[in-house]
Amino acid sequence: MAYASITGWGKYLPERVMKNSELEKLVDTSDDWIVTRTGIRERHIVGDDEATSTMAVAAGKKALEVAGLQPQDLDLIILATCSPDRIVPASAAYVQHALGASKAAAFDAMAGCSGSLYALVTAYQFITSGAYKNILVVGSESLTRAIDWTDRSTCVLFGDGAGAVVVQANEHSTDMLSFILGNDGSGADLLYAPGPCGKLTNGITNGHYYLHMDGSEVFRFAVNTLVDVAKQVVAAAGLKISDIDLLIPHQANQRITKAAMKTLHLSSEKVFVNLDRYGNLSAASEMVALCEAAEQGRIKEGDLVVLVAFGAGLSWASMVLRWQPKS
């Protein structure tokens, strides 16, 4: 059995920033209403010359640099997204070509906002089985291209961006201590987008492709899932919640996170939040948050980190990491 750990990370956010004050001109809302209901103050919007794949490439390059790898070293690229450039081929194929990762296999992972953790768990399986040594996992989203900007229930929530990590084989230990993946397909119609949206040339011009969400039902699912799955994955690692140094929840709604913190008895110092600056980045959310936590020194060598995501499907995913990027 081989061992695996995260050795590199990187993110990319589009240059354009949309503050809540701009949304006030598009829909019946206000900065106070959005902040109170969601905790979001601004979000990044994908540029006309950008796509889900191009943002993934930018984040991937940074992750490779931190890991000290060249694209040719990669065995596999997994791209988690809800907003692929096209239905066929996989957007990961564009990422592989643009990076120059000529030896890497590439495929997309779709599991809603949980997609990047599904992809990350998959990467660990490939490495610990001995099949591969170097894998790039990317979460990238251009979901604002599928947003109805007259629908207050969805347009205030989402943003665009990408985050990436490199998972490498090593000879010492695996930093993932436990994981949980799950799905309840009976709720699949509570949150969905009928068509692709990651590239502007897809010509999304009518409501048939807009994101649809039953906000109250998804909120109820998210609150319960975040708490339950966090408890389960920590127990699976043989730990207690009090042992955890940092919880990185899916960045969906401030009220969901606060409710979970209260139930789990976690202080703000033990929870990472960047929702206020980015909104819900869907499958990119966990990757961008993990990258920022590392960049800001919120995670130190040996720290125990819990990642929890939930989203369309209805899906959920979680893992416990003992942070050791120098392994």
Containing 260, the helix (H) or strand (E) segment is helix 254-264
Cis peptide upstream of residue 239 (ω within 30 degrees of 0) = no
> Is 78 in contact with 50 (CB distance < 8 Å)?
no
Whether residue 113 lies in the annotated active site: yes
Structure tokens at 264: 């789990």
Whether residue 155 lies in the annotated active site: no
CB-based burial of residue 253 (10 Å sphere; 0-12 exposed, 13-18 middle, 19+ buried)? buried
Which residue of the set 82, 155, 250, 253 is catalytic?
A: 250
> Is 222 in contact with 202 (CB distance < 8 Å)?
no
Give φ, ψ of 180 to 5 degrees: -140, 130
Which residue of the set 82, 113, 155, 197 is catalytic?
A: 113
Give φ, ψ of 26 to 5 degrees: -105, -30
Whether residue 250 lies in the annotated active site: yes
Strand positions, DSSP E, the chain: 3-12, 16-19, 42-45, 76-80, 105-109, 134-141, 161-170, 176-183, 191-192, 212-213, 246-249, 304-311, 315-322
Distance CA 61, CA 280 (A): 23
Which residue of the set 44, 197, 280, 291 is catalytic?
A: 280
- Give catalytic residue positions: 113, 250, 280
